[in-house]
Chains A and B, each alone.
Chain A
Amino acid sequence: MIVPALIGSLPRPIGLAKKLEQYYIGRLDERKLEEAYREYTRRAFEKLRDAKIKVITDGLYRWDDIFNPFIRFIDGIEVNGLFKFYENNFFYRSPVVRGEIALKENPIPEWISIAQEIKEDVYPEATLKAVLPGPVTLAYHSINEYYKTLTDLAEAYAQVIGELIKELDVKIVELQEPSLAAEISEATKNIEDRVDKEVAKNIIEDLGRIKKLWVVTYFGTPQVLPEGVILNVDLIEGSVPEEYSGEIGLGIVDARTTKMERADRLRDKIRKYLAKFETIYVTPNTLLDFLPESVAWKKLRLLGRLGGE
């Protein structure tokens, strides 16, 4: 069976960006901003319903990138310099780890509950995933000034994420883990230290025991294959490792080009996997944030047409 699904973010609508600008300069109060978030989330869910996307996220409209604002809610971290997110013209604020990390009080569980309520109202048959950055990707994208090794840091992040996962009102948590496929972009920085692959596998599997995980990798072929999770693989810039036999998501629509794919060719591409996997989730290959909004929705509607086979 083919199930169309969304991973990660949707492009933040310009209308919502304008509301945020007004908020930043003090011309919109917090209550009005919250109303705007809810209204745009509602519209997104309606469009996802119309596009027949069965597994959804809240589009990360409240997030500036996959790390922020989450890293602001962790003790021991300062948010510092701007870095390129892989080779995209898309940037993230980097966590600078200055001390032992611990989860602070944060609004993410409430954001997810709000999204659940809206989803129940407009698209109850869909499954909503909560999205968080994965511990390995967080470690690779941090400036580590405290922990002895990057592996230690990844383990510390896993603790924090584990605590948060327990509080989320969803059955599935999506971890953004591009670093399992492409550790970090050489375009941004050179790093000597690496997260031990066996440890990476173990910490993700441990998190998967708290709640069902959908582990999203992109910009390459995953080098770490955690068990007991849904592993999302980027088929544009990577491939499914032959030895992988768990649940699978296939990133078959290119979220980094405006050129539209043909549905028949995508179906041909999927068919060869149907022999091996009973259920295949079809998704964009990476964050839809890299596309203009109109094109992103066109690509999602295309994905929706692939469902059901």
Chain B
Amino acid sequence: MELPILPTSVIGSYPKPRWLLRMYKLRELGKIPEEDFKEAVRDASISVLREHERAGIDIPWDGEMGRSEMTEYFTSKIKGFKFYGPVRVWGNAYFNKAAAVDKLEYEEPLVLDEFLWVKENTTREIVKIPITGPYTIAEWSFNEYYPDKESFVMDLAEIINKELKVLEKHGAKFVQLDEPAMLNHPSEVPLAVDAINRAVKGIKMKVGLHVCYSNYNLLADYFDEIKVTQFALEFANRNFRDMDFLKKLSNKELGFGVVDVHNPRVESVEEIRQAIKKVFTYLEPEWVYINPDCGLKLLDRKIAYQKLVNMVQAVRGVRKELEKEGKTTIEFRTLKDI
């Protein structure tokens, strides 16, 4: 399978429509039937898919309309977690941080419904399914049950592995493990790597790994050991500083973050084009995908959309230049290819 050179994608989340947020609220208050809530989520999912498609994104997702939050959503579906209440992440943003109080068990598919719905409703051949990785789920939870971090993380890796197998069986082609916390403790990076490799054991599809707001030098030492096809990283937030670690990346793709998701200023097409040209000093264009830094959900929806539109326009401009060099498409690489 082939894709246009510099395939564009998203990292995962997207602003929820205001009416959907109201449905979440009504559901929390027990004021709407579950079926009505699910219908609202599915309608919003199609809206966002169409928005991604309209912006020109090659590999879209539905913006995680059915997920309350990236860790909370998963911990609420895995048996053995308990919730004590919200914890602040930044400014006025909170999430329900769970505590593991019993042995964790895979009881039901985590994102299969979402995938099937998106697959059924998109015009694109490939979608990207973001899944929070085992190390990050553990790191962003409290542990009251496991005697050590390793057993906590590895139980989660097995659970994620079960989910990936289910997704692959149902036709998934591209999953992204979100591991923003995997570099939190330099001494535990090998554990996070083991957990990721355990999570993808027996998987053949394309697997990306998203890490953000961290010291990427710690990740670069493990580029070769991590069994994924792509690293999707944030660069706009750090103003494209300190990119030298990319010299260590070979035979794996880079998902290059070109728009800042925590800044409402919409980057110009030219600015993004320049950023893309900068990454070519480290990697051949054939190994680069283009995406926002991270999930867009904290932005105003109009701003999020305009950032995607500008990102796609910048890519189209660069593609024209690459076309002159005869570079128009790339092969869709999977775990089988590395």
Contact = CB atoms under 8 A, between A and B. Distances in A.
Nearest to A295: B84
A82 B183 contact: no
Interface in B209-235: 213-215, 217-218
A91 B85 contact: no
Interface in B223-250: 237-239
B126 to A, nearest CB: 30
A166 interface: no
Interface string B70-93: 000000000000001111111110
B142 A257 contact: yes
Interface residues of B, number: 33
B99 interface: yes
Nearest to B184: A87
B140 A89 contact: yes
B214 A187 contact: yes
A65 B89 CA distance: 10
Nearest to A256: B142
A20 B139 CA distance: 28
Interface string B142-183: 111000000000000000000000000000000000000101
B259 to A, nearest CB: 13
Contacts of A89: 87, 89, 95, 97, 139-140, 181
Given A89-B140, A187-B214, A189-B215, A64 B86 contact: no
Interface string A121-149: 00000000000000000000000000000
Given A259-B142, A294-B85, A91 B217 contact: no
Interface residues of A, number: 36
B202 interface: no
A20 B90 contact: no
Contacts, number: 92
A261 B49 CA distance: 48
A211 interface: no
26 contacts: A11-B87, A20-B92, A21-B92, A65-B90, A81-B239, A82-B90, A82-B213, A84-B184, A84-B213, A89-B89, A90-B88, A90-B90, A91-B213, A92-B90, A186-B218, A187-B184, A187-B218, A188-B214, A258-B84, A259-B142, A289-B88, A290-B87, A291-B87, A292-B87, A293-B85, A295-B84
Interface of A: 11-12, 14, 17, 20-21, 24, 64-65, 68, 80-84, 87, 89-92, 185-190, 257-259, 289-295
Interface of B: 84-92, 94-95, 97, 99, 139-140, 142-144, 181, 183-186, 213-215, 217-218, 237-239, 260, 262
- Closest 8 CB pairs between A and B? A292-B85, A87-B184, A91-B90, A292-B84, A64-B91, A258-B142, A81-B237, A89-B140
